Structure 1
Amino acid sequence: MSEAAVYTLKNESVEASISSLGAECISLKYRGLEYLWQADPAVWGRHAPVLFPIVGRLKNDSYQHAGQTYSLNQHGFARDCSFQLLEHSEQHLSLVLNADRESLKRFPFDFELIVRYTLSDSRLQVDYRVNNPSAGQELFFSIGAHPGFRCPLLPDRERFEDYELDFGKQSLSSLPIYALENGLIGRKRKKLDLKQGKLPMGYDLFRHDALIFDVQSFTGLRIRSKKTGKGYAMQFPDFRWLGLWTKEDNAGFVCIEPWNGIADTTDHDGELKSKLGIIRLSPGSFHAATYQVELLG
């Protein structure tokens, strides 16, 4: 594999760096302060991976399609692939990944995945477009984002517990969440209690893995320090699920993950076409989804 190229986007207040490896944003600075997790390999060795062609874990790390069995690791392979440059300017970047002989061994579909980054004021917009260039075959896939943000942003002045989740609706008193069982979606649902749409951050929230929400009663989330006012907000109106995750106590980051797709259920039959949340693209069609990150300072 050739060495990854790194592209920079910049305006008066924000500077973003994106790698051609995985089309992954690897730095996001606002007024000189780094907001993105810096991939400490001793904790979590990624920054903001693109999840494709699956989101989450497959039951037995495999699936069936057209009578054949294929293996895929959690979150798919795009995050470890080299993307090609389509466009790069001071505030725009587009990268593309196409199916090839290696991808067809694990995922027997033709596809074109385009990831586009756009800077505007204190915001970074990320656009996903999946094209099905096949003349006669449906494309079955999922796609999602997994950006990790430094939390706390100023560890010498604040703690993880100084931050607050704000779902943007004071009328929200609770939200249902999925229960994970060994990385798969269990049958039971839990409830997260809120106070006027808000919830203090704490590592106990993530004691049993990620928090996973249906995005029905909210389409945005703000995580902000009550001490310094710094933080980040995300809008994700094109996505069906949202995951929130950190790895362990004092990990130093939190991930805000909009998904169009989700892990297998514990009772899934293994068929890709019947997987929860799978997207089906007819030949010649496309799927597009956008999320936007605002840096708060």
Structure 2
Amino acid sequence: MIITISNSQLSATLNTVGAELQTLVKNNKNYIWQVDETYWNKTSPILFPIVGRLKNDSYTWKDTTYELPRHGFARNREFSIHKMSDHQVIFELDDSESTREVYPFAFKLLIAYTLMDNELVIEYFVRNQSDEVLPFSIGAHPAFAIEGSFEDYSLQFNKEDVFETHHLENESFNGTTTLMATENHTIALNYALFEKDALVFKHLKSNEVILKNKDQAVLKVNFDHFPYLGIWTKQNAPFLCIEPWCGLADATTHNGNLENKEGINHLPAGEDFLRALRIEILE
């Protein structure tokens, strides 16, 4: 089911399947890319309870092996509507018999979308509903529309950083890195940057990035309290994904144990986890 929310400046449509953002519109311009399966079949999937790919698409927990596909299962599940108003919708996904077959934990996942002036605020809420620690990752994957030449675009970060990207090999980290060329903490975009896979930054000081087309600021993403950031596109595709994460793909050397996976969150019994992503339209 498609849900629409709006305020005086913005409107957004969202799908109950995956609680997925499908459009974000200001002045009749949509800032989320529209699906072309030649390149990709998603617009803004929710990554839960893992981010990226597990080594061998599996993990172990208490001596039992479970299989999970890349980015987990939330992006393909039907969410219920927890709450809705003109400018906000909150989606809910709870553990079930089918989720426990691949992820043996009791959880509540809420994704809230709220329009505030020229911003879309996306909140990611996880509650541990069990009597043991909940190991999980969660991440965002919005794909922003690119109009015209990809090479006209750049990413301007809000702090002086060492832009060290961590390399993926068959979607697992292989331990090698590259320092990105930047000018005034800005990365000039071109498709060659993504020939192998995403750019992944693990240690940024920045918590905001502006997508610019030439000298024009298009939109700003605030990812405060997300420790990792992925940037991704497909060759010649008219989109750019800006992906704040609380979690990472496996390393090629990982032993498969979910408990000591790099970047995993350990949420104590009965406690809550909350992160907020803000997308501000600047045009």
Residue in 2 aligned with 1:127?
A: 123
Determine if the alignment matches structure 1 residue 68 to structure 2 residue 72.
Answer: no
Secondary structure, counterpart of 1:193 in structure 2: coil
Counterpart residue number, 1:138: 133
Shift of 1:137: 1.8
Q: Which runs of 5+ in 1 are unaligned?
A: none
The residue that corresponds to 2:153 in the other structure is 163
Change (3 A) 1:215 1:19: farther
Inter-partner Cα distance in structure 2 for 1:186 and 1:218: 24
Q: Structure 2 CA distance, aligned partners of 1:18 and 1:60? A: 32
Note the residue ranges of structure 2 that are not aligned, 5 or more in a row. Answer: none
The offset of 1:8, in angstroms, is 0.9
- Which residue of structure 1 aligns with residue 253 of structure 2? 267
C-alpha separation in 2, matches of 1:80 and 1:175: 33
Give the structure 2 partner of residue 198 of structure 1. Answer: 186
TM-score (norm 2): 0.97
Paired residues in the alignment total 283
Secondary structure in 1 aligned to 2:163? strand
Q: What is the DSSP-based 3-state SS (H/G/I as helix, E as strand, rest coil) of the residue aligned with 1:93?
A: strand
Per-residue CA distance 1:75-103 (angstroms, 9 max, x = gap): 00000001111111111110100000000
Q: Is 1:222–2:218 an aligned residue pair?
A: no
Report the Cα distance in structure 1 between the residues aligned to 2:170 and 2:282, rounded to whole angstroms.
Answer: 35
Q: Is the 8 A contact 1:215 1:239 kept in 2?
A: no
Task: Report the CA distance between 1:215 and its aligned residue.
Answer: 4.5
CA distance in 1, matches of 2:217, 2:16: 29
Query: Is the 2:163–2:204 contact (alpha carbons within 8 Å) kept by the matching residues of 1?
Result: no
Match 2:240 to one of 243, 254, 257:
254
Question: What displacement does 1:144 show?
Answer: 0.2
One-letter identity of the residue aligned with 1:145: A
1:233 to partner: Cα distance: 1.0
Aligned with residue 20 of structure 1, among 9, 16, 19: 16
1:292 is aligned to 2:278: yes
Specify the SS of the correspondent of 2:173.
strand
Q: What is the letter of the counterpart of residue 140 of structure 2? A: A
Residue aligning to 2:89: 93
Q: Is the 8 A contact 2:210 2:217 kept in 1?
A: no
Q: CA offsets, 1:106-157, max 9 Å, x none?
A: 00001000000110111100000100111x22111100000001112xx3xx
Give the superposition deviation at 1:36.
Answer: 0.3
* CA offsets 1:194-248 (integer angstroms, 9 cap, x no match): 1111121111111121000024311111111116x25221001120100000011
> Normalised by the size of structure 1, how large is the TM-score?
0.93
2:76 corresponds, among 51, 76, 80, to: 80
**Aligned partners of 1:238 and 1:291 also within 8 Å:** no
Aligned to 2:48: 52
Match of 1:104 among 100, 120, 141: 100
Counterpart-to-counterpart distance in 1, 2:37 and 2:153: 24
Percent identity (aligned): 37
* Cα distance in 2 for residues equivalent to 1:17 and 1:109: 31
Mapped to 2, the partners of 1:230 and 1:194 lie a distance apart of: 17
Specify the alignment match of 1:9 in structure 2: 5
